[in-house]
Amino acid sequence: MALFYECTSITVGNRQRASFWHSPWFGGRKPKDIAPSIFAISKHKNDTIHGALDLNKWIANINTNSGLTIQHILEYYELWVGLREVFLDDGVDDEIVWKLSPSGEYTASSAYKAQLDDSTASKMKSAVWNNWAPPKHKFFAWLIIQDRVWTADRLQRRGWPNCGLCQLCKRDPETAAHIIFRCRYTVRIWTEIKTWMGLTGVHITDWSSFNSVNDWWHHMVGVNGNVRKGLASLVMLVSWEIWNEWNARVFRMVSAMPNVITSRIKAEVRLWGLAGAKRLSCLMP
């Protein structure tokens, strides 16, 4: 089923065929990925959109005995906002198009090829999954490489409140790419880490040529040799600490200077080394 949804695009019409939770009809995403906590307590997991779009009926389908948390409310809000952007047409059937063939019709050969061709998945494996880092760092890396964290540009696209400017420098428009490798705040941190570790192969002045976190990240971890896996861990660690600082500013109204974050990163590098990140501790002075 995962392959099916990965390889099809769904346009909702009269919502008789598409599954509310499992189809990626919601701006290309599956509601169960957007609202996993609500999906977990939903009583009708296999409803079509037709059966589930009526909001009152939908709420009645949730098992609230186990109690609702703030996470449920946040997820519900995201679904609610998204639903307002979905336009339904009773006159046409839901359209399910097979993305892997030019005609949009399913062919066995294209499905077979897709199952063997995992180049995208393996790229994420070498950049993220197969390297040493705690799971939350890996998950964050996976999200931000796909530009799926709530920076101002993304909030703006949804029409959600945002201040537009980067929370770290308060000067440039905020995007994931800006926060992770372009912001002067971030660059100061990386410059110090580069000097500390003697990372002569990292050329910070070249970073402005990268257009996305994805490009930059794969460039950073794309080097050969024995530093590759250490660098992959380091990129996850530094990016995570920068993202933490962003969160502290947005949600707790506290901010720290780059040198504070740098000290924190150095301490974390030592701890990760002790916890088993051998390739990372090889980079340590």
Residues in contact with Zn ion by CB under 5 A are 166, 168-169, 172, 183
Q: Are 234 and 266 in contact, with CB atoms under 8 Å apart?
A: no
Q: Which two tokens stand for residue 20?
A: 């509310």
- Least distance from Zn ion to the Cβ atom of residue 164, Å: 12
- In the complex with Zn ion, the residue whose CB is nearer, 179 or 236, is 179
- Least distance from Zn ion to the Cβ atom of residue 144, Å: 15
CA dist., res. 42 & res. 245, Å (int): 35
- Least distance from Zn ion to the Cβ atom of residue 167, Å: 8
Q: Are 136 and 239 in contact, with CB atoms under 8 Å apart?
A: no
**Angle at alpha carbon of residue 193, lines to 187 and 197, rounded to 5°:** 145
Q: What's the Cα-to-Cα distance from 44 to each of 16, 24, 119, 159, 266, rounded to whole Å?
A: 15, 17, 35, 30, 48
- Least distance from Zn ion to the Cβ atom of residue 180, Å: 10
- In the complex with Zn ion, the residue whose CB is nearer, 58 or 217, is 217
CA 51 to chain centre: 30
Q: Which two tokens stand for residue 274?
A: 């002790």
- In the complex with Zn ion, the residue whose CB is nearer, 34 or 169, is 169
- In the complex with Zn ion, the residue whose CB is nearer, 133 or 261, is 261
- In the complex with Zn ion, the residue whose CB is nearer, 183 or 197, is 183
- Least distance from Zn ion to the Cβ atom of residue 183, Å: 3
- In the complex with Zn ion, the residue whose CB is nearer, 128 or 168, is 168
Q: Are 119 and 151 in contact, with CB atoms under 8 Å apart?
A: no
- In the complex with Zn ion, the residue whose CB is nearer, 78 or 172, is 172
- Least distance from Zn ion to the Cβ atom of residue 217, Å: 18
144 contact partners, CB below 8 Å, separation of at least 6: 176, 180, 213, 239, 243
8 contact partners, CB below 8 Å, separation of at least 6: 24, 96, 97, 98, 99
**For residue 96, what is the enclosing H or E element?**
strand 95-98
- Least distance from Zn ion to the Cβ atom of residue 162, Å: 14
Q: What is the CA radius of gyration of the chain?
A: 22
